[in-house]
């Protein structure tokens, strides 16, 4: 009797690009080096830099069979640009990946193996690290309910420690688990989803322009009965925020719009109407406070640069995208 070999699962990687520069090409090249079959769809939101032309020029003839570029012509937002690409995916698994994330050759293979071992999981993420190797905030977290967000903003989790009611929704300060474990939410920088689950949950809510669409998706996956896994043994490096540094004010505006939509969509029936009004007011107060702080930092940075001083604390660059980088695997 002939031996029947199990079919290798395939992955469709979706990368939304907006002025990603040379890092987009580095991201795609890393995906192409994967040890499992992968197709790549780059959904470009009207980039005004040379990221798409640079990518095309770097591809070999054989690579073009696996890489599709969708030019949306304008900035449609993260969710809508992902949805356009996700609708084209017919693979066993789909990966939503930021263009400033760099995978290892075995990243997709190892994630596929974990998902095959956990059929109850609809989506998973891995350990997303900063360029210095530290765990990136938000790669595993609890759902940021209005109460949890208040606790974090007021730093109550630091004042009242080890109390379950006063926990931050970020889990970065917790020890890494030894094995994949369910979490409430993961980072939108790396979301590895089962197509079967995607068929029941649906695409992203494209009423979010930027930020919080990943939290929305996590909520809907769990509401549909699927678990979300955090896989600490697999890691990717993320150059967080390269595409939004040119317009941080606009990014903050869309982030806070996303927060308001997220709270109203999932928590308006759990909180009294008056309290929800206070929550929305608090979101916009936070927005104006953050904008004010950003303007102060900009003023101090300009003043210090005129004196030849070192950058304002927290402003030091972490590296230059496109330089040779070494990322170790767990």
Q: What is the pLDDT of residue 51?
A: 96
Query: Mind listing the pLDDT tens digit for each residue in 104-141?
Result: 999 999 999 999 999 999 999 999 999 999 999 989 99
Q: Are the C-beta atoms of 40 and 15 separated by less than 8 Å?
A: yes
Q: Please name which of 107, 144, 166 lies closest in space to residue 218, comparing C-alpha atoms.
A: 144
Q: What is the pLDDT of residue 162?
A: 75
Percent of all residues in the chain with a pLDDT value above 90, rounded to a whole number: 61
Query: Mind listing the pLDDT tens digit for each residue in 303-314?
Result: 887 665 544 344
Separation CA 40–CA 287 (nearest Å):
36
Give, for 149, the enclosing helix (H) or strand (E). helix 146-153
Q: Please name which of 230, 199, 232, 204 lies closest in space to residue 217, comparing C-alpha atoms.
A: 204
Q: What is the pLDDT of residue 322?
A: 42
**pLDDT surpassing 50 at residue 328:** no
Q: Please name which of 42, 36, 139, 44 lies closest in space to residue 92, comparing C-alpha atoms.
A: 36
Q: Are the C-beta atoms of 120 and 226 separated by less than 8 Å?
A: yes
Structure tokens belonging to residue 98: 């930021």
Q: What is the pLDDT of residue 171?
A: 86
Q: Are the C-beta atoms of 49 and 78 separated by less than 8 Å?
A: no
Q: What is the pLDDT of residue 280?
A: 83
Query: Mind listing the pLDDT tens digit for each residue in 21-80?
Result: 999 999 999 999 999 999 999 999 999 999 999 999 999 988 989 999 999 999 999 999
């Amino acid at each position: 009797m002939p031996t029947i070999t199990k079919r290798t699962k395939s992955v469709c990687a979706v990368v939304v690009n907006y002025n990603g520069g040379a890092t987009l090409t580095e991201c795609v090249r890393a995906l192409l080096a994967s040890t499992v079959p992968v197709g790549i769809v780059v959904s470009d939101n009207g980039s005004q830099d040379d990221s798409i032309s640079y990518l095309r020029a770097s591809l070999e003839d054989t690579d073009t069979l696996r890489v599709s570029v969708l030019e949306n012509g304008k900035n449609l937002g993260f969710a809508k640009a992902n949805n356009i690409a996700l609708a084209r995916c017919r693979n066993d698994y789909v990966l939503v990946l930021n263009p400033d994330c760099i995978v290892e050759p075995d990243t997709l293979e190892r994630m596929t193996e974990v998902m095959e071992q956990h059929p109850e999981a609809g989506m998973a993420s891995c350990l997303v690290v900063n360029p210095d190797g530290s765990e990136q905030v938000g790669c595993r977290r609890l759902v940021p309910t209005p109460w949890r967000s208040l606790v974090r903003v007021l730093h109550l989790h630091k004042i009242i420690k080890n109390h379950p009611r006063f926990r931050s929704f970020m889990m970065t300060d917790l020890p890494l688990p030894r094995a994949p474990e369910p979490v409430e939410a993961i980072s939108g920088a790396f979301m590895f989803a089962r197509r079967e689950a995607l068929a029941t949950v649906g695409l992203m809510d494209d009423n979010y322009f930027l930020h919080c669409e990943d939290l929305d998706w996590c909520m809907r996956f769990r509401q549909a009965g699927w678990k979300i896994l955090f896989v600490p043994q697999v890691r990717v490096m993320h150059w967080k925020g390269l595409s939004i540094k040119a317009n941080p004010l606009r990014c903050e505006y869309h982030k806070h719009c996303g927060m308001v939509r997220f709270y109203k969509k999932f928590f308006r029936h759990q909180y009294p109407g008056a309290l929800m009004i206070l929550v929305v007011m608090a979101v916009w107060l936070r927005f104006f406070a953050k904008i004010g702080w950003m303007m102060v930092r900009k003023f101090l940075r300009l003043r210090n640069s005129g004196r030849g001083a070192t950058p304002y604390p927290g402003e030091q660059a972490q590296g230059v995208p496109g330089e040779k980088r070494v990322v170790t695997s767990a």
